[in-house]
Amino acid sequence: MKILFAVWEIDPFFKFGGLGDVARAFPAALKDLGVDIRITIPFYKAVKLGRNRKKLLCRLRVEYAGRKEKVEIYEVAHPLNNVPVYFLKNKKYLDIVSAADTFAFFDKAVVDIVKNNSLDFQPDIIQCNDHHTGMIPLLVKENKLNIKTIMTIHNLAYQGFNSKEVLDKLGIEHTKSRLIRWEIKRRQINFLMEGIIHADAVTTVSPTYAQEIMTEEFGMGLEELLRGKEGRIFGILNGISADTRYKYHGKLNTCEFVQRKSEFKNNFGEHLKFFLEKKRKNKLLLQRKLGLRATSKLPLSCFIGRLDPAQKGLDILHKMIRKVIDSEDNQFVILGSGNIDWQKRFEWLYKFYPKYISCNFKFDEGLAHEIYEASDFILIPSKFEPCGLIQMLGMYFGTIPIAHRTGGLADSIKTYYNGFLFDRYSSVALRNTYERAVEIWKKDRKKFEEMVVNALNTDFSWDLRAKEYRELYEKLISGSI
């Protein structure tokens, strides 16, 4: 079984968000199951190869915008798992990301490479990820290649609109399909939509999100199209493979729990005392580092994520914190980058309560890990969340999630077991749930500690998910889907 995994980011070479984590860890788990999986990604100037050696595999010409462009393929073995990564180099289109051409050109290059057998690796399936790779399924069809395609939706909110001229550049006739004619009328091409239409199967990153995207509330305008694909849409939860990645912690020398965690395997109950003591120390270390009042007596809750007001629930989070912070009975840590307006609003809270809220507006993985290791709760008020890795990472570090019941949050958190979910998207619902959680933290330590053990024991490893994907690949190849 041979799979080519096409993606626009991969940790640690070029990481932008959660998809970069997925591209690092998911293919590795499939490789462990015996699947021959390889990754392909543009070779941007910003790619950091570090000490990893690249090998030039071949050169070819890719026709785009009426010209034959030179593309070089470099192979690098992923440093954490040895999965081959093929970097495609082209100065004009792939050096720097441009919305107009980079992804259209990359998609064309991927399909040309497979068509010409340039890699000596003929995939049975190309797995495309998000809109960046959305033109691949159509190009595979156009070239009549005997290869199946999967379109994996990580976030429907980003669809990749492009001008209709891109079709000319790709050499696709405008009259090819009814849909393209309709798109042409709108004078725009929607890459993700093309991917959904032409792929043999569509997957998304949690079972709940697979249902949600068929509704008007979450479908982002594509719900009807998605409903028409029912039976070919599969929701498989993402996972985390924290063990290898979080070894980087050692360098920080502040928070140390995770270094011992792997020794305990799935038996944290016995080691709970050790763990709680570490967590208590971590919290004091972090409070001091961030200038918060250093005390074990107050619950410390964190928010880690992109400051995206359309998705991440910043409005209800801010309102909830505003309501509870003046009692000076709670502490909060915010780590995020993005929207400047929201940065200012959170910063304003800091001005009044510097000992009770810490605002960190940057992308800092080291700090993120320290926060996971030190906090009692992680707040995830997202309006929608296709999967969400933060709740899994939180639980991996024994930090209890308080989250909106949506998408992957609904599929990974069980109230009173390993976290707390609230149903209605409102600051009142968030606040009520937060206060209930804090009440347990303060007054029912036995219950709280039981929940911490459950969170630590919940298995979010990629191994489980990879098996589900392998089954899907088998069905696709055998033609039973």
> What residues line the site for ligand ADP (CB under 6 A)?
17-18, 21, 304-306, 335-337, 363-365, 368, 387-390, 393
And the tokens for 445? 């330590």
CA–CA gap between residue 62 and residue 116 (Å, rounded): 11
Q: Least distance in Å: CB of 130 to ligand ADP? A: 10
Residue type, 358: S
What sign results for the dihedral spanned by CA atoms 397, 459, 262, 245? negative
Q: Which is nearer to ligand ADP, 104 or 387 (CB)?
A: 387
CB 175 within 8 A of CB 181: yes
Q: Which is nearer to ligand ADP, 128 or 167 (CB)?
A: 128
Phi, psi of 151 (to 5 degrees): -105, 115
CA–CA gap between residue 250 and residue 4 (Å, rounded): 34
Phi, psi of 302 (to 5 degrees): -120, 160
Q: Least distance in Å: CB of 19 to ligand ADP? A: 6
- What is the number of H-type helices and E-type strands within the chain? 20, 17
By the 10 Å C-beta count (0-12 exposed, 13-18 middle, 19+ buried), 170 is classed as buried
Q: Least distance in Å: CB of 408 to ligand ADP? A: 8
Phi, psi of 336 (to 5 degrees): -170, 160
Q: Least distance in Å: CB of 300 to ligand ADP? A: 17
Q: Which is nearer to ligand ADP, 202 or 389 (CB)?
A: 389
Q: Least distance in Å: CB of 454 to ligand ADP? A: 21
Residue type, 46: A
CA atoms within 13 A on the CB side of 268: 23
Q: Least distance in Å: CB of 106 to ligand ADP? A: 20
Continuous H helices in 199-308 = 207-212, 223-228, 242-245, 257-264, 272-290
CA–CA gap between residue 295 and residue 247 (Å, rounded): 27
Q: Least distance in Å: CB of 299 to ligand ADP? A: 21
Strands, E assignment, 273-387: 300-304, 331-335, 357-360, 377-380
Q: Which is nearer to ligand ADP, 219 or 269 (CB)?
A: 219
Give the H or E element holding residue 163.
strand 161-163
Q: Which is nearer to ligand ADP, 206 or 454 (CB)?
A: 206
Q: Return the residue nearest ligand ADP (CB atom).
A: 18
Q: Which is nearer to ligand ADP, 125 or 333 (CB)?
A: 333
CA–CA gap between residue 278 and residue 272 (Å, rounded): 10
Q: Which is nearer to ligand ADP, 210 or 393 (CB)?
A: 393
Q: Which is nearer to ligand ADP, 18 or 84 (CB)?
A: 18
Q: Which is nearer to ligand ADP, 104 or 389 (CB)?
A: 389
Q: Least distance in Å: CB of 16 to ligand ADP? A: 8
Q: Which is nearer to ligand ADP, 201 or 389 (CB)?
A: 389
CA–CA gap between residue 327 and residue 318 (Å, rounded): 15
Q: Which of 77, 236, 76 is nearest to 150 (CA)?
A: 236
Q: Least distance in Å: CB of 118 to ligand ADP? A: 32
Q: Position of tokens 């001008």?
A: 163
Q: Least distance in Å: CB of 23 to ligand ADP? A: 12
